Amino acid sequence: MEKINLKEFKELAYRAYYWTSFDPEKRAKDTILEHEDQLNEDLSIIPEEEKERYITNYKKYFSEWLYAHSNCASSAITGSSGFNVRRAEKSNYREHAKFEQFIEWREKALKAIARKIEESKPEEQKRDEAWNALKMDILDSATVIDGINKGVKKRYSKALFVSNIYGKVETFAKHGETEIVNKAIDCIRNFNETNSVIITERHKFFKLGELAELNKEKLSNNSEKENTSISFKGGKMVNNFKENRLQLSFDEKPSSELISQLKKHAFRWSPKFCAWQRQLTNNATYDAYYFLRNNEMID
CA angle 268, 269, 275 (to 5 degrees): 115
| Predicted pLDDT of residue 162 | 97
| Predicted pLDDT of residue 129 | 95
Helix axes of 178-194 and 123-149: crossing angle, nearest 10 degrees: 30
| Predicted pLDDT of residue 78 | 76
How would you write the pLDDT of the chain (299 residues) with one tens digit per residue? Answer: 689 999 999 999 999 999 999 999 999 999 999 999 999 999 999 999 999 999 999 999 999 999 999 999 888 877 777 678 788 899 999 999 999 999 999 999 999 999 889 888 898 999 999 999 999 999 999 999 999 999 998 889 999 999 999 999 999 999 999 999 999 999 999 999 999 999 999 999 999 999 999 999 988 888 788 899 999 999 999 999 988 899 999 999 999 999 999 999 999 999 889 999 998 889 999 999 999 999 999 98
Ramachandran sector of residue 252 (left: φ over 0; alpha: ψ -120 to 50; beta: rest) = beta
b/e 115-152 (16+ beta carbons within 10 angstroms → b):
eeeeeeeeeeeeeeeebeebeeebeebbebbbbbeeee
| Predicted pLDDT of residue 212 | 96
| Predicted pLDDT of residue 1 | 67
| Predicted pLDDT of residue 247 | 96
Q: 177: burial class by Cβ within 10 Å (0-12, 13-18, 19+)? A: buried
Residues 65/95, Cβ–Cβ less than 8 Å: yes
pLDDT tens string 63-107 = 999 999 999 988 887 777 767 878 889 999 999 999 999 999 999
CA distances from 198 to 47, 70, 79, 153 (A): 43, 62, 70, 14
